[in-house]
Structure formats: structure tokens, C-alpha cells
Structure 1
Amino acid sequence: MKYTEDAKKIISLVGGEENINTLIHCMTRLRFTLKDEAKADTAAIEKLDITIKVMKAQGQYQIVIGNRVSDVYDIIINELPNLAESKETPPEPSEEPKPKGFAQHFRHGYDEFIGVLTASMMPIIGVLAGSGITKGILAGLVSAHVLSDKSGIFLLINTMADTIFYFLPVILGFTAAKKLGSDPIAIAVIGAFLIHPNIIGIAQAKTQEIGLFGDYAVKIMNYSGSVFPIIVAAWLGKYLEKYIKKIIPEMIQGIFAPIIEIIILSFILLLAVAPVITVLSKGLADGISILLSFNGIIGGAIYGAFYPILVVFGLHWPLIPIVINDLAVNGQSVICALTSITAVGIAGSVLAVAIKTKKKKLEALGYSAGVSAFCGIAEPSLYGILLKYKKVFYMTMIGNALGGAVAGGMHLVIYGFTGSLIGFPSFINPKAGIDSNFTAYIVSHLVAFIAAFVLTYLFGFNDKMVPSDKEA
């Protein structure tokens, strides 16, 4: 309850309840959709002690708070209970002018795409992270001969941790449909169809195809853990449902509309969308992996240096479904392993600032942001410190480049979704236990942390520096 006054100020400064369409939150941000963003006092919001940064992206007014976001969110919902009832409801169409020209159309389309990915993925990120850590801990216990991989307890817990990946099309179908405004249950059923034992059985057979009409047959793939096909289904469902409701009498819509939607979309996915998207997403992930394998040192250095910039501009979101698909299909990911290094490098930089500064507020922010980065959440560090002190950002890029180069040279991979310090079990090989990959994890992450910390402490920061948001 100590954030009650801050929550009330935020409500007032965004224009009051009457100016708020919806409110959701992710791990670090309050994400408002406002009726009129001009009514929000951004400068005053950024001056609040609890606020790190205000961002405007994907049609949302985003207030970056950090670890305390869920507490502030709960208080706002308690103050404005009507938001709780509509927090997952898509906002009403805005009256803003339609985009003109290719550049504006592309930016608008990209913002919409990222908005769907964000809203679809965010509710399951915590479960994905916990599942990856759990599998890593199990692998470590087996490697240490504390637990047998043939035991019942191992089988049960390992199955629990695998469940989120296996049933991903079902869960994502539900969350994506909620975001897009299509029928969540119908889209979830379509996701379940994609991973039905009959479909999986065909995908695992020698022919991997099923006959439809005469000699015409369609190739069936294993869609367990797939991401993009079901999101496309949720998008198509939004338009298909409107058409179906126009041609079916209202009194029987509740019975026939969902099953017609399920049949039509299932065939569309099976025949056209799912095979193409699955091949493309797997090809992109394989392409990045091949590039890193071709010259892992250079590739790792480039990725490590520039990934924080992708986060700042919201360009990192398209990588997340690829990582999840890579983990589900191949059981490991190079991209996620390199991303883990960047979080540790960022932690090194902000902790160096916290130790060196004499400013109490900046010191507190540095320590809390550092802890968040060790947990894999870098946004408080990025928006609270790195973007305000450019030299700190540059030192972080150098530290991450060195760590990424080491990781690329040692062929580091990750076996779970969570990295950084808290996700160390995700680097334990599920089959071989603690091996050279875990050594690569320790060395690469230490290099990134130490380099970023030392460079920032010696060259990147001092209290005489003026933060960018205070520059004239």
C-alpha cells in the first residue's frame, strides 16, 4: 500500500479515469490505452519518484516502473475497478488519421504486429521462465546423481515443465484472441487441433501426409510448441467471425458460428499458413545460428553489443517467438544464450554507477535495476540509467560485445527460456548434465559483467555528468 499516493497521481496525470480505455501491465511497465494521449502530463509523470521512463509505442502509453509495477497496477485497479473488467478488452478504434505513404504504413503495421506479440506473449513469459529453470535444476540434480531420470518424481516434474511448450498453440491461441478480439475458446480449440495426437501421429509417420480429395494430399508437420501459426489464426478469426455472424441467424449463432470458424480456420492453417510460417520461422532461427556458427566470435560480439538497442526501439520482440520455437523444436537456442549475456553486462554497468555515485536516488535505482537485470529484466537499467548517461551505454556495449565474442567462440547455447544470473540452470545440458556448455556460460557471463563494470566505473560515469533528460 506504500505506492497508493503514486498510483493516485498516475491516474490523475494520465487524464483521470475518463481518459483511460484499458490498462494492462508487463514485467516492468504499466500499459495504458488512452482516449487522448495529449491529456497526459508526461513531464510530471516522469518526475514521480516511482517512474523510470514514459514510452509511447504500439498504440500504448507505457509508464516504465520496474519491479514494483504489479503493486502499482493492483492499486490502480482497486481505485478504478471498472478497468479490471475490461483490462483484456481491445480498445475502441481511435480517430487518429490513417497512415499515408509506405513508411507510415510500415511503421503502423509493425507497431500493430509488435502489440499483438507483446499482449500474446506477456501472460506466459513467467511460466516459460520458470519452466526453463525447473528443467535446468532437474538436469543438474541428475548430473550430480541426486535424482534418477528414470524416477517417477523426475518424470512428473519434467512433464510439468514441458507442458507449457507442448501446449503453446493452445495457450497462445487464447491470449492472442483476447488481444485481437476474436473468440478465445474457438482459437484455443484450433491450437489444440494442431497438436492433437492424430495430427502428431501423422507428422511422425514415414509419409507425413494425409489424403484429402482423390490423389491430393497435404503434408503434416509437428506443430507442438509452434508460435506464429496460431497467432495468424487469431488474426484471421477476427474477420471470419464478423462474416459468419452476418450469414447465420442470430438465434443459432452460438451453436454453429464457433464450429464453422474452427473448421474453416483449421483447414486454412493446415493447408497454407502453418507449413509456410513454420518453415520461415525455423529457417530464420537456423540462419542466425548458422551465421553465428560460421564466425561465432564476430557474430556474438555484434549481437551482444547491439541487442540493448533493439530493446530500446522495441525491435527485440520478433526474436522471442523464434527463441520459443527454437527451444520447442531443437531443445536449445543460441539467440537466447547471447541475450542472457547482455542482461549480465547491463547489470555490471548499473551496479558500477550505484557504487560510484553519491546521489541517493541514483544509487537506489542502480542497485534495484542491477538486481532486475540479474533476473533477466533489463528495462529499468536501460531507461533509468543507460539512456540517460550515454557513456554508460557505450561501456555496456563494449562489455557485452566481449562477452558475446567469448560465448560465440565457445559455442554457448541455452536449454531453457530464462538466462542471466537467475537462469543459470537453463545452461545445464538436460542429457549430459554439467559440461563444457556450463563452463562457457560462466566464462562468457563473467567477462561481460567484469568488463562492463570496470569500464563504466573507470570511464563511463561520474557524478558531474548531466543526464540526457536534464540537458538544455
Structure 2
Amino acid sequence: MAKYTEDAGKLLDLVGGKENISAVTHCMTRMRFVLVDEGKADVKAIEDLPSAKGTFTQAGQFQVIIGNDVADFYQEFTAISGIEGVSKEAAKAAAGANQNPLQRAMGVLGEIFAPLIPALICGGLILGFRNIIGEVNFFNDAGAFDLEHGTQSIADMWTFWNGMYSFLWVIGEAVFHMLPVGICWSVTRKMGTTPILGIVLGLTLVSPQLLNGFSVASATAEDIAAHTYDFDFYSFVGTGYQGQVIAALMAAFVLVWLEKFFTKVTPEVVRMIVVPFMSLVPAVFIAHLVVGPIGWAIGNGIAEVVNWGLSSDIRVLFAALFGALYAPLVMTGLHHMTNAIDTQLVNNLGYTTLWPMIALSNIAQGSAVLAMIVLQKKNERAQQVNIPACISCYLGVTEPALFGVNLKYKFPLLCGMAGSAVAAMVCTGLSVKALSIGVGGIPGILSIMFNYWGVFALCMAIAIVIPFVLTFIVGTKQLSAEECGMAALEAASPAGAAAPAAPAAQAAPAAVPGELVAPLTGAVKPIDEMPDPVFSSKCMGDGLMIEPAPGADAVVAPADATVTVTMPASNHAVGLTLDNGMELLIHVGIDTVDMGGDGFACHVAQGDRVKAGQKLLSFSQDKIRAAGHPTATAFVVSATGSATEVSFASGMDAQAGSTPVVSFK
């Protein structure tokens, strides 16, 4: 019998049998199923399988985490089930068919905004910093610190900070006023058309030749006349769409439709000339004459409705509802719409009151997991998921906590929702404002206007205390002794039984210490910061995240080892085994398996013997980013072998092949 035959057969039954599988594929670490009815999958029994390290559902795919041996498991599973595996693209298409139209639309919206979020977060932090140095009057007329009666800011007091305050707006304007450029680029990238045409379309929406969208209300007759385009039979005022989200989305989708249409009907011999011209030029006219004004009205309408809900007499009720339901929205993917709404609010009002509640919801769910850590302190297997899930949730990545802990037990999810609702009521009732979306969770305070920091700190305390207390109280009644880890402890040490005397034995030789060098040049961080729940929750094992340095394009062997796993179809990851049995996984980027190997090359084969510093993989950071994926690379110790102690160094810049980052003995 092959290694995984028994578990593969059990998994087939536990996912509902062959008739319940629409498609199955795998990536470097997990089996990916598209199920006809996910309700038929016995999640608890699947997670109890020796070869399974956890499960979660994402984008319509039911995923079972296996580890480095997933390719072998997949081969045995398809042989036993008689199901022919499909490509990643076919599995994604099948998963999309499993979703309703709203879920598919939110999925597309999420993939459009995902590449923009780092810039939006950076812009929000910059606005927060500018607010502190230029908008808060710390000093009085005499130059003394006087926050209560101050009339001068830091920028008013010092020339350096005044210059900094002014210059940082170059970045802030690029992020928020020029946002349509990024949106049009991201839409064309996501829909598989030409990104540079999207960039050009976005630039026409914010061109300095047009009347600035933020100046329309105060424009003089001369300004309007200077920006009026007269075509004899029709004239219109050329208005820019600075900061507009919906208008940019609509314009970009017009361009996508036109490019796909003309690509289909144009002979290939003249396609290079005809398609760009016939796509871009009509798209620009349609954007400014039709969909731009419509999108502007829709975007402003949505922002006004949300702002009314958050500033009217019923704002506390609205906040309670949003605070309670945001976590379930994350699990359905519908939360992606809030990115567009937040951005629209920031550009319309200069602030958003929606984002603070999102940060509080993340904290609340993390606090529920914190209570589970206390309740399950004797359950070592549960703690392997609980602790990293709590940390990542407090830092704004909620999926490990939601799918790995809170939804699994249900009551922590509900307790977190209750705490989030109360915190949101206080937050909105006291009109806390954020300058932009920011880092979720506890660091979210950096995006809050400075004068609301005290109130928001109180709201964070509420979001920590209430879910923790509720989860702890309910958990003491709901969790079994086995779930708390007490049953295993009692079985290991039965009451009244004396521990048997250990037989005399020759002392084992001391383990030979060793070290692993960085496989990639870049900033080394804890694995908890990986923007992927499988890695950040340490389901695959402990390790490090490495953010590649500019120009870094090669993964090297961290020690002398044998290549045990490669991914010939995608070349985005490699698995190694050391002589002491330690197993390593190096995974470049997040979801880069979807790129099908574009931008990647593998320089070794399975079974090869490699030396420390030898090149294993090469990749293009530009292509990874262009595909909309993070470049963060996971370096994981998935099995320790004969090593008894493994420690990881982080918080530094490492050089591939020379900087020690892991030590063991």
C-alpha cells in the first residue's frame, strides 16, 4: 500500500464522495476541491486525518492542507477516486460557477482592489503623519507646548517640518487623487486585457488639461469656459475624475469590453494597430461623455447614503449592525465592497468613519481567539493554530482566526461579533474619523485622526475585553475536556498512578548544532506576517517570511540538502530535506501558482543533491506584482527531523546564501 492510500480513500468519503466533487487540483501545500455541496464535507473528521493539517474555504474552493507531500497525496487520491485532475484555471472557473453572481462580482472586485491596498495603506499613514505635524496645534503663540490652547503646529514651528508637510502631499495626491489610474490598470490586468491601455485611460480621467474634480463646485465662469470642449454639434465641460472609484471602474470595464470585441473581430495581421486604437479612443470618449458622469453620481450617492447612516440619528444602530456583521462578510468575500466605499468617502469628505469599525472587528475576533488560547492552554495541537491566528488577527489578517478557530467552534465567532458591535457603537457614536483605510487590527490607530486617538483606544479596549470575557465564560461550559486538552493530560498521567522508573540507559550523544542561511536576499520577518492564512497560522510549520529586496531574483539552498519537491508546472516553490531529516519549504509569493510558471524558472530537479548557496529558483518580482500577487516568500521548517530545538531570527536584512536565519540542534 502506498504511503497515503488509506488517508486518500478516507478523504474521498469525507468530502462527500466522487459525485460531490466538481473539480480537484493541488498547489504546493494543499488539495483544492470544488464541491457540489460543501455541507457534505465532514470538516472535523478531515482535520483528524493524520496527513491533514487543516482546512478552509476560499473563493469557492474547499482546501485541505497537506504539506510538502501534496503532489504524492494528489496522485494517490486521483488514482483511488478515478477523478481526473484539472488545471488551476479550470478549478477556479468551476469554483466561480459554484458562486452566486454577487459572490463572483465581489470576488472580481476583491482581486481588483487587492493590488491597490498597499498604496492606499501607505497613503493613509502619510495622511496621518501629515495630520499630526501640520494640523494639530501643539504649541501656543509663545512657542510653549499647550495642546489645550495651542495655535501652532509642528510645521508652523520648524521650517524642516513645514517642508516635510508640503512635500509628503506629493505622495498623498498620487495615491488618492490619481487613484483612477491604478483602478483602470488593475481592472485591465484582472480581465486579461492590455494594462498599459488601462493606465492611459486612467491618466485621461485625471489629466491636468481637465477641470480638477475637487474644484468643480468652486469653479468660476472663466474656469468652466477654459475647460469646455466644443465639437460644434455638441459641447461639454472637461471634468477630471480625481479620486472617483465607481466612474473609474465603469470606464475601465468599457475599455475591457471594447478591446476584447475588437481582438475577436480583427484579423491578426493588423491587430496590433487596430485593436489599441479602436479600443482606447472610443473608451476615452465614452468615459467622459457617458459612464464618467453616471459613475460620479453613483459613487457620490453610495458615499452619501453610507455617510448618512454613520452620521444620522440612527448611526449607533447602523454601527451595531455593521460591527456585528463585518466578520461574516469577510467569510463570504462581500467585505471587498467596503474598500471602494471607504475610498469614496475619503475623497468626498476627507475622512471615513467606516474603516475604524473594520479595524475594531478584527481586534474583536482576535480577542475571542485570545480567550481560546487561555481555555485550550493544555491542548498543544489547538495552540499551534490559536496563537499565530490571534497574532495575525491583531495585525489585521483575520482569515486564520475566522476559519481556523472561531468558525470551527462557532461561539467565539458570535462573542467576537458581540464585542465588535459594542465597540462600533461607541466608535460611531463619538464620531471617530480615519484619514484613510490603514493596517487592520491594533495598528489601525495610526490611520485615525490624532484628536480621536483617545476615544479609539477606548474602543479598542472594548473590542478586547468583551469578546475575551464572553468567549471565556461560554467556553468553560461549551468546550469538552478533550478540546481543552485535559483528557489527553489525564490519560497520560492517571490519578494516583506512580510514574514508572526510567530504565538506566546510556546518555544519547549531543545533537550537532547547525544553521540555515537565508534562501533569498531581503527583509526577514516572522512567519506570522505572511499574507496567507496557511503560512501565517503555522499549519505548515514554523518559519520566516522574507520580503525580497529590490533586484533580488534568486532562491538559493539554505544548506546542503536533497531536493524532494519541485513544481514543474509553476516553478514557484521547492522542498528540501537535510541529512538530519529536517524538511524545508520555500514558497515564492502568494497564490503565484496561478501564474502557470510565467516569470519563474527552476534550476534543479527532484532528487538532486544541492550545496548551500546553490541557485534553486529564479523569478521576476515585476511579473509577480503585475499579476496582482504579493512577493512575500515563505521559508518554512515543515518537519524538524532529529533536531530538538529550532530557533528563527527575524527583524533584519539578510543576504541570500550567507546570512544565518535559522539555528538548530
Could you say which TM-score interval applies, normalised by the shorter chain? Answer: 0.7 to 0.9
Equivalent residue of 2:56, what SS? strand
Is 1:338 equivalent to 2:362 in the alignment? no
> Aligned runs of 1:329-368 on 2, under 5 Å?
329-357=348-376, 358-368=378-388
Provide Cα deviations, 1:371-391, integer angstroms capped at 9, x if missing partner. 222222211111111111122
Cα distance in 1 for partners of 2:30, 2:115 equals 14
Structure-1 separation of matches of 2:131 and 2:94: 52
Instruction: Sort the Cα spacing of 1:292 and 1:250 in 2 relative to 1 into closer, same or farther, 3 A.
Output: same
Tell me, in whole angstroms, the C-alpha distance in 1 between the residues paired with 2:413 and 2:233: 60
Q: 1:292 aligned to 2:310? A: yes
Q: Secondary structure at the match of 1:218?
A: strand
CA pair 355-94 structure 1, distance change in 2 beyond 3 A: closer
Q: Note the C-alpha offset of 1:228.
A: 2.6
Give the letter aligned to residue 420 of structure 1.
G
Match for residue 420 of structure 1? Answer: 441
Instruction: Report the 3-state secondary structure (helix = DSSP H, G, I; strand = E; otherwise coil) of the residue aligned with 2:228.
Output: strand
Aligned-partner Cα distance in 2 for 1:274–1:31: 43
**Partner AA of 1:377 in structure 2:** V
Q: Identify the structure with bigger relative contact order (alpha carbons < 8 Å, sequence gap 6+).
A: 1
Alignment of structure 1 residues 138-153 onto 2, 5 Å: 138-142=130-134, 143=136, 151-153=162-164
> Cα–Cα, structure 1 residues 414 and 243, in superposed 2: closer, same or farther, change >3 Å?
same
Distance 1:124 1:359 in 2: 40
Structure 1 residue 410 displacement after superposition:
0.4
- 1:216 pairs with one of 215, 222, 234: 234
Change (3 A) 1:51 1:133: farther
Write the deviation string for residues 301-332 of structure 1: whole angstroms up to 9, x where unpaired: 12111111211222211221111222233221
* 1:110 to partner: Cα distance: 2.0
2: CA distance, partners of 1:424 / 1:95: 39
Alpha-carbon contact 1:134-1:425 (below 8 Å) kept:
no
Percent identity, aligned pairs only, is 23
Match of 1:110 among 102, 116, 124: 102
Partner residue of 2:404 out of 370, 384, 405: 384
TM-score normalised to the size of structure 2? 0.55
Check 1:322–1:388 CA distance in 2 against 1; reply closer, same or farther (3 A cut): same
- Structure 1 partner of 2:455: 440
Matched, 1:456 2:487: no
Matched AA of 2:470: L
Over the aligned positions, Cα root-mean-square deviation in angstroms equals 4.0
Judging changes above 3 Å, is the alpha-carbon distance between structure 1 residues 30 and 49 closer, same or farther for their aligned structure 2 residues?
closer
Quick one: structure 1 residues 63 and 127, their matched pair in 2 at CA, closer, same or farther if it must change by over 3 Å?
Answer: farther
Work out which of the residue numbers 386, 403, 408 in structure 1 matches 2:428.
408
Shift of the alpha carbon at 1:397? 1.7
Pairwise CA distance, 1:124 = 2.1
In the alignment, what sits opposite 2:329? 310
Per-residue deviation, 1:212: 3.9
Following superposition of structure 1 onto structure 2, how do residues 48-197 of structure 1 map, counting pairs within 5 Å?
53-57=55-59, 61=61, 63=63, 91=89, 108-142=100-134, 143=136, 151-197=162-208
| Structure-2 change in CA distance of 1:365 and 1:96 (3 Å) | closer
Alignment length, in residue pairs?
A: 414
Contact 2:371 2:471 in 1 (8 A): yes
Structure 1 SS opposite 2:236: strand
Counterpart AA for 2:316:
I
Ranges in structure 1 where 5+ consecutive residues have no aligned partner: 1-8, 66-71, 77-88, 429-433, 468-472
Give 1:353 shift: 0.9
TM-score by length of structure 1 reads 0.75
User: 2:284 is matched with which residue?
Assistant: 266
2:320 to 290, 301, 324: 301
2:333 aligned counterpart, secondary structure = coil
Summarize deviations over 1:221-280 as a string: whole Å, max 9, x none: 442222233333333333312432456554443234213311101111111112212221
- Which residue does 1:82 correspond to in 2? none
Spell out, residue by residue over 1:188-237, the C-alpha distance to the aligned partner (whole angstroms, 9 max, x if none).
Answer: 11011101111244764335573443363335544222223333333333
Q: Show the 5 A alignment for 1:198-277.
A: 198-201=209-212, 204=216, 205-206=219-220, 210-214=228-232, 216-245=234-263, 248-277=266-295
Distance 2:454 2:50 in 1: 43
- Conserved 8 A contact 1:140-1:425: no
In the alignment, the residues of structure 2 paired with residue 353 and residue 441 of structure 1 have an alpha-carbon distance, to the nearest angstrom, of: 25
Question: Secondary structure of the equivalent of 2:242?
Answer: coil
Distance 2:278 2:459 in 1: 53
Correspondence for 2:591 = none
Q: Of Structure 1 and Structure 2, which has the larger fraction of its residues in helix?
A: 1
- AA of the residue aligned to 1:188: I
Partner SS, residue 387 of structure 1: helix
CA distance in 1, matches of 2:56, 2:311: 39
Runs of 4+ in 1 over 6 A off after TM superposition: 29-32, 40-45, 92-99
- Kept in 2, the 8 Å contact 1:305–1:398? The answer is yes
Give the stretch that moved more between structures: 376-385 or 218-227: 218-227
Worse-superposed segment, 43-52 or 130-139: 43-52
Asked whether the 8 Å contact 2:103–2:333 carries over to 1, the reply is: no
CA contact (8 A) 1:42 1:54 kept: no
Q: CA 1:297/1:172 → structure 2, altered by over 3 Å: closer, same or farther?
A: same
In the other structure, the counterpart of 2:538 is none
Cα separation, partners in 2 of 1:424 and 1:120, compared to 1, 3 Å: same
5+ long unaligned stretches in structure 2: 1-7, 16-22, 72-86, 139-152, 484-665
Shifted more, 248-257 versus 345-354: the winner is 248-257
Letter in 2 for 1:439: G
User: How big is each residue's C-alpha offset from its partner over 1:95-118, in whole Å with a ceiling of 9 and x where there is no partner?
Assistant: 86998xxxx9xx643233222212
CA distance in 2, matches of 1:466, 1:229: 55
- AA aligned to 2:101 is G
**In 2, Cα distance between equivalents of 1:127 and 1:48:** 42
1:442/1:246 CA distance change after superposition, 3 Å: closer
